[in-house]
Amino acid sequence: MKKNLLTISLLLASLLAAGNVSANEEVFTWNCSESKQFKTSGTTEKVRLIWDSKTYDLDRQVSLPGSLRYKNTNSGHDLVVLGNKAMLFNIKAGIRLADFCQTAEMKAGKLPHLFAGAEPFVQN
């Protein structure tokens, strides 16, 4: 009986944790220099960032042509995505958290998934 309750509790906990990402949202893993890594999901307008075991919602910002930029002003997280790499900053702390980050698709020469359906070369 106790084993069944434990199993059910663990299952519910994992389902609740996964609830942050809806079933139709794909999660992308970004591998960076210095063995750093983060994950993203969401749309071209709002990105959910998982960094250092914490989740942050980032909103798209106006950026330079050829790039996408997402920020969470409360936490200070700032994700800049170019055609061949991404960089993650904490603008509150004034530091670069991760550099030269790419998804598996980017390593294969494709554009970042965030560019799909977006016009990254035109400011919003």
pLDDT digits (tens), the chain, 124 positions: 555 444 444 444 443 444 444 545 799 999 999 999 999 999 889 999 999 999 999 999 988 888 899 999 999 999 999 989 999 999 999 999 999 999 999 999 888 878 776 654 443 3
Question: Over the stretch 77-96, which tens digit does the pLDDT of each residue have?
Answer: 999 999 899 999 999 999 99
* Domain extents in the chain: 23-115
Q: What is the pLDDT of residue 3?
A: 53
Res 9: pLDDT: 46
pTM of the model: 0.74
d(CA 21, CA 4): 27
- 11, 44, 86, 110 from 97: Cα distances, Å: 33, 22, 11, 24
CA distances from 25 to 20, 22, 88, 96 (A): 10, 5, 21, 27
Predicted local distance difference test score (pLDDT) of residue 35: 97
Which helix (H) or strand (E) segment is 60 a member of? strand 54-61
Residue 30, both tokens: 């970004």
